[in-house]
Structure 1
Amino acid sequence: MAPTPPHLVTVLEQFHVAPIPAPAAGQPRALPLTFFDLVFWSIPPVQRLFFYDNANLLDVSDFTLGELPRFRNSLAAALHHLYPLAGKLTCEVAEGVAPPELVLSDGDSVPLTVAVSGDDFRDLAGEHARDTTRLRPLLPALPKHGGSRSQQGVLAVQITVFPRAGICIGTTVHHAVADGASYTHLLSTWAAAHRIGHEGNRAVAMDVPPLFDRGVVRDDAGLREAFLRDHRALGTADGYEPLDDWDLSRRPGVVLATFRFTEKQLRALGRHAESETSARCSPNALACGAAWAGIVHARGSGWGLEGAPAPDAHFGFVTGCKPRASPPILANYFGNCLGLCRVHAKRELTAATASAAIWRAIEGLGEEGSVFRGSQGWVRWVREYASARAVTVAGSPKLGVYAAADFGGAWGRPTKVEIAYVERTGALALAESGHDGHGGIEVGLALPRAEMEAFRTFYLDGSTC
């Protein structure tokens, strides 16, 4: 199917959704960024798309008059509990200025855009390769404040109506304020408020409220100051974009597609990996290893400088640090709490050898304190991995985004979830593949069309085993 021009998305209304009720007077209004947050300071905002199939949605007015007030009220109710997401991030790391912090002031809110699209909903919500230019208009931009880069909103939401087909909810969140677990906390709270039909006059109850106290993150090694120095050295404060080597969004012909690894496939991959490498890999390691090997294959052995040997293949992933910190950080802590992990391998990768390399790195995290070895270099690693065009990971099946985004009623769970910002980070977008009852893992990736076809061939012809 030929791509539909992106101008078919038309903005109808723009709202500003504030926390309702307002946060209690005793709640902290300024949250300094920890060293965990600063790791992701220069990463592009995390953007997700949630497609909800509903053929009974007749037209735009059917949604704006009947459903939109519930979406707005339930978002306001969720922001009551997760109020920092309505605030602004101070965006300077220059020498002599106050370090970045997330601040909520009276009147702050989250922008909510309502739009309508004439594009083909079912085609956009599919798993086949789709031109990324068709998806970008469904994603909201983070607002700038004061006409400068000194302050920036940290969350934006867009709901796009597809008459007689469904809706798409697009979210954009600054990675320096929330990791995947914190984002899912927002999503599940919003969905829960929507399911109970919140009317805006009381907050939805929460069993365990989020913890915003930055004092629970110990920094005995002085990583926060080290990361601020690294960001200054990389020139981020002057607008330098350190991740251009990953970014495909300015190149023509880039497509986004999803590949499923069913439980049956993963078992077969696991048996093959164990016979070839003796490693008993986890399902995540198997899916990531097969995808990593497929991308290296799709790029071709000649990737690199002309006349030079092909460089090693690089893979990066994050791991949760709440239970690994000393002392451990409570599960309801809101913010980033992730460590960076690196894997190197020769480019002659198979799915089995790639999976085994990833699994051995995961196994190595079992040793106390191992995740923080080399942590002084985390900010520099991000830049180095971008330069090496490393394959990295976004999302996790453990987050359960399909279940978290269950708005109930006419919407239920999304039919498709996309982590759209992988176009800019080269990451594998991981999610549970449970919405159809077959289990397994979904892997989404963005590649130039020729590389995507080569990857698809690798995936389908049995090379993954």
Structure 2
Amino acid sequence: MGTPAVRRISECFVKPHPSDHFSDQICNLTPWDIAMLSVHYIQKGLLFKKPETLVDENEFIQNLLEKLKHSLSLTLSHFYPLSGRLVTHKTQNPPSYTVSVDCKNSDGARFIYATLDVTISELLSPVDTPSIFQSFFDHHKAINHDGHSMPLLSIQITELVDGVFIGCSMNHVIGDGTSYWNFFNSWSQIFQAQSLSRQPINNRWFPNNCIPPISLNFKHHDEFIERSEKPLLRERFFHFSAESIAKLKAKANSESNTTTISSFQSLSALVWRSITRARSIPSDQKTTCRLAATSRSRMEPALPEEYFGNCLHAVNAETTAGELLENDLGWAAWKLHVAVKNLNDRVVLQYLQEWLDSPVIYQMGRFFEPYCVMMGSSPRFNMYGSEFGMGKAVAARSGYANKFDGKVSSYPGREGGGSIDLEVCLFPHTMTALESDKEFMNAVSEFNPLLF
């Protein structure tokens, strides 16, 4: 990329409309929510082409901004925790430390309009994701605990020469990826039709024996807050067509003599093996593959998809580098399959009970082993269903947040049909080795979003 920089033109705050029915609401946080206090905001966004038949570009962008603000205000009335701020209450006698969301004493969500003098092609043509995408999001490097003083939701609209990027930074304490895309799609729905087909469920779910608010065994946030700088990484998107993934799935199931391994487990196994090979680590070195899984459907009774909050559990498969690479794709895929299959209501409740006995706040530097591959996000999220009067997005992209060596985020492919895009973050020398890995690159498909 050349030298152009993102210029912030204006910013304002957007409050829910109407605002009276929850104005005094305090939202208590669950163990899943509180555990997120020291990680980054979720930063994802969509890149759209401007309509080709524009008569007046200035009028188009001004109308778009007004309509986005108005529909955001209406959407926030359904997702009201996003318009609040975090508050910590401490008492000495008896000793208590609680964090919750105050939905009343807040300016609302931030709304930013910015411009950048580049084209969509300049952003999407380079092999590596240009770092300028980080400037398309507010809350750069912010962690969720900063939601005490920063908005829990910030929207940045960046106008390009021939496109518009809608970047959204949402506090991860308020919700997970499922919640994030439920909000984004609801906003799009209200933008287009002014009504919502599926209402979010804002009432937080707590284990039976847990009476909110949860009191933490801390005296000061310095005890659980960690800020770590992201190392120098290369970030690159790899596309896998539906046909390529079907082949991987057939191969993994055939090698494991089963029919139950899923497409995503097969793809994750390929990624785990290929990155481990690219890292050239000793054969006795432990390596882990983690998958971020929603627990909603695994609870008994199940929590609805509309549950707005965090409901995440990381499942692990672990082995040595030697064993992973000596065995075939099916062997690794089966390990991941078993790990996912074993996640049930009992496991989740046991985790929550252990957390309540000894609360843990996730920290980027300590939560992940050095030779871990972490599969985040999900190709099941309906990212390309969000349209804001500009048709289907050209691409989905992310910001600075929650990236480290071995972090892989999955997205649905733009053409649908079961295709998947993977955003891979690796040390530069590891990425170069991965790009030379025949097994991996043979599964990667050519795809140019600019042609669609």
Normalising by structure 2, we get a TM-score of 0.83
Q: Does 1:90 align with 2:68?
A: no
Cα gap change, 1:184 to 1:155, in 2 (>3 Å)? same
Separation in 1, partners of 2:296, 2:346:
12
- Give the match for residue 210 of structure 1: 200
Instruction: Write out per-residue CA displacement over residues 151-210 of structure 1, whole angstroms, 9 at most, x where no aligned residue.
Output: 4421111010002x10111111111111112111211111012113xxxxxxx3334422
Corresponding letter in the other structure for 2:242: E
Counterparts of 1:136 and 1:237, CA distance in 2: 27
Are the counterparts in 2 of residues 4 and 134 from structure 1 also a CA contact under 8 Å?
no
Residues 52-451 of structure 1 mapped to structure 2, 5 A cutoff: 52-54=48-50, 56=52, 61-90=58-87, 96=95, 98-105=97-104, 108-125=107-124, 128-131=127-130, 133-141=131-139, 150-163=148-161, 165-196=162-193, 204-214=194-204, 216-220=205-209, 228-229=216-217, 232=218, 236-238=221-223, 240-241=225-226, 244=228, 248=230, 250-251=231-232, 254-279=233-258, 280-302=260-282, 311-348=285-322, 349-350=324-325, 351-365=329-343, 368-375=345-352, 376=354, 379=360, 384-403=366-385, 405-407=386-388, 409=389, 411-420=390-399, 421-424=401-404, 426-433=406-413, 435-437=414-416, 439-451=418-430
Deviations 1:255-302 (A, max 9, x none): 321112222212221232233333541011112221222222222225
Deviation at 1:9, TM superposition (A): 0.8
In 1, Cα distance between the equivalents of 2:245 and 2:141? 42
8 Å CA contact 2:86, 2:99 repeated in 1: yes
In structure 2, distance between residues paired with 1:294 and 1:324: 30
Secondary structure of the corresponding residue to residue 20 of structure 1 = coil
For the aligned residues, what is the CA RMSD?
3.3
Q: 1:58 to 1:141 in 2, by over 3 A?
A: farther
Are the structure 2 counterparts of residues 267 and 440 from structure 1 closer, same or farther at C-alpha, using a change threshold of 3 Å? same
Q: Which string of whole-angstrom CA distances, capped at 9 and with x for unpartnered residues, describes residues 11-30 of structure 1?
A: 111111111222525x7611
Unmatched tracts of structure 2, length 5 or more: 445-452
Show CA shifts across 1:74-93 (max 9, x none): 11111111111011012578
Map Cα deviations across residues 81-133 of structure 1 (whole Å, 9 max, x no partner): 111101101257898454110111255311111111123422323583124x3
User: What secondary structure does 1:455 align onto?
Assistant: helix
- Contact 1:314–1:391 (CA under 8 A) maintained in structure 2: yes
Q: State the distance in 2 between where 1:213 and 1:182 align.
A: 13
Contact in 1 for aligned 2:266/2:333 (Cα 8 Å): yes
Distance 1:264 1:114, change over 3 A: same
> Against the structure 1 CA distance between its residues 340 and 373, is the aligned structure 2 distance closer, same or farther, given a 3 Å change threshold?
farther
What letter matches 1:110 in structure 2?
Answer: A
CA contact (8 A) 2:290 2:314 kept: yes
CA contact (8 A) 1:143 1:152 kept: no
Q: CA deviation at 1:394?
A: 2.1
> Which 5+ residue runs of structure 1 have no aligned equivalent?
197-203, 303-308
More off after superposition, 254-263 vs 90-99: 90-99
Q: When the two structures are superposed, what TM-score results if normalisation uses the length of structure 1?
A: 0.81
The answer (yes or no) to whether the contact 1:339–1:372 under 8 Å persists in 2 is no
- In the alignment, the residues of structure 2 paired with residue 426 and residue 97 of structure 1 have an alpha-carbon distance, to the nearest angstrom, of 38
